A and B are shown apart, each in its own frame.
Chain A
Amino acid sequence: MNESKKLSVSAIKEGTVIDHIPAASLFKVLTILDLESLKSQITFGTNLYSKNLGLKAIIKVSNKFFKDNEINKIALVAPEAKLNIITDYEVVEKKIVQIPENVVGIVKCVNPKCITNHDEIVTRFTVINKSDVALKCHYCEKITDQAQMKILK
């Protein structure tokens, strides 16, 4: 018996599909990639069932191809995200995201007494743990972990 599979989010002709995003991180990913300001068609679905993630989200962005350093930023909130590059409805390339060594200007420092939360300073962190993401603030030297992570906008 053939199990027919219906797509929860319809296919795109050209562009990028970002899959395996934890459902809770969907809006963070949209913010990090600044998709709000993008004019092309974006469709997304969330709270979809996933064997690995429990509930996952998927984003399909038409006519947009990301640079590696741009897309790797989402690894902070979606370390298992997978990218499919689509040309003429076909997957022509698959990519995984990689957590960068340094994180600049994306994350807010968890320490309320950190200078970056008082003056206009671009935040900077060193990634000290990639599996269980932990960031060390370049300024106050405090650790911001995944649960505490707030994305700056």
Chain B
Amino acid sequence: MKNRSLISINDYSKEEYIKILDLAAEFEKNPDQDILKGKVIATLFFEPSTRTRLSFESAINRLGGRIIGFTDATSSSVSKGESLNDTIRTVANYSDLIVMRHPLEGSARHASEVSSVPIINAGDGANQHPTQTLLDLYSIRKTQGTLDNLNLFLVGDLKYGRTVHSLLMAMSHFNTTFNFISPVELQMPNEYKIYLDNLGLKYYEHLDFTDIISRADIVYMTRVQKERFSDPIEYEKTKNTYVLKNTMLQNTKPNMKILHPLPRVNEISVDVDENEKAYYFTQALNGVYTRQAILASILGLQ
């Protein structure tokens, strides 16, 4: 992985995922190391994403690296009409690695082709967010002890959610059984179902969020966003249907854990937070270790 950009989860093999997860486990044991001392990392956030940026900056700081960058495009030359090509070529002169978030899809791939230093994609529009997927894999493996043969429930917006699409692609390497729970308007796109069919993996679709989750090893919740609905009445009907409440967890498996990429709105009741099956805040912490592992791998420092 040395000097190779991380753009799309689909560029990596199962073995490469495992390598990063193993390294992340090492960082969890010993998160404060000086291996990035003397390195300058650029964090270019062409659109704001406080959570992802802080996670990266925490990872970099804990490894002793220094950070340059901007937190939204209005404070950079982009607002003067500079092309992405020019911004990246310039910043590549000032840094050893670039972490970038951009609203346009394919922007990170383009950046990796013009940059003289490696790029980490921290989200390109609705396309890819590979570090999120890797931290999801880390969280699943850590809580279940394995990634193989699990029953994964994906709940909420399965149509537009880039997180669930990338997670599906990554988990398809591990003989996963998939369950999709979503309103009709937000069902998993056909291309992903065809992909699973071709691999011979099982998946089940449900419209109702019921005690079907008693079969789950992992329940992965996502936000149902108002702007995704063409009909506002449909949204009003839907928004309270796909909400996970503490009472629904009674018959779930003891090993079951609830994940969520955050930020949460109302799709997980606050009363779930105290349940030991709630894992989403620890999942966010795992993001720091996973990003430390990714930075160290790409810079060849592990």
Contacts and interface: CB of A to CB of B under 8 A. Distances in A.
A13 interface: no
A113 B128 contact: no
A14 B107 CA distance: 47
A137 interface: yes
Nearest to B8: A141
Interface stretch (B98-106, B198-206, B217-225, B282-290): B98-106
B106 A120 contact: no
A114 B84 contact: no
Interface string B84-109: 11000000000000000011111101
A138 B105 contact: no
A115 B83 contact: no
Given A119-B83, A120-B83, A139-B109, A113 B191 contact: no
Nearest to B103: A113
A1 interface: no
A41 interface: no
A35 interface: no
B109 A111 contact: no
Interface string A91-135: 000000000000000000101011110111100000000000000
B110 A119 contact: yes
Interface string B246-275: 000000000000000000000000000000
Q: Interface extent on B, as a size class?
A: 10 to 19
A137 B8 CA distance: 13
Chain A interface SS verdict (over half) = loop
B125 A140 contact: yes
Given A119-B84, A119-B85, A141 B106 contact: yes
B83 A142 contact: no
A149 interface: no
Contacts of A121: 85, 110
B127 interface: yes
A115 B106 contact: yes
A128 to B, nearest CB: 10
B206 to A, nearest CB: 27
A114 B83 contact: no
Contacts of A114: 104-106
B83 A111 contact: no
A117 B107 CA distance: 11
Contacts of B106: 109, 114-116, 137-141
Given A138-B109, A140-B106, A115 B84 contact: yes
Chain A CB within 10 Å, residue with most, of B125, B126, B127, B128: B127
Nearest to B109: A139
A114 B83 CA distance: 14
Given A119-B84, A140-B125, A111 B191 contact: no
Contacts of A109: 106
Nearest to A134: B191
A120 B128 CA distance: 21
Contact of B104 (A115, A120, A143): A115
Given A113-B126, A115-B102, 10 more contacts: A109-B106, A114-B104, A115-B104, A115-B105, A120-B83, A138-B106, A139-B106, A140-B105, A140-B124, A141-B105
Interface of A: 109, 111, 113-116, 118-121, 137-143
Interface of B: 8, 10, 83-85, 102-107, 109-110, 124-128, 191
3 nearest A-B pairs in the assembled complex, by CB-CB distance: A139-B106, A140-B105, A140-B106
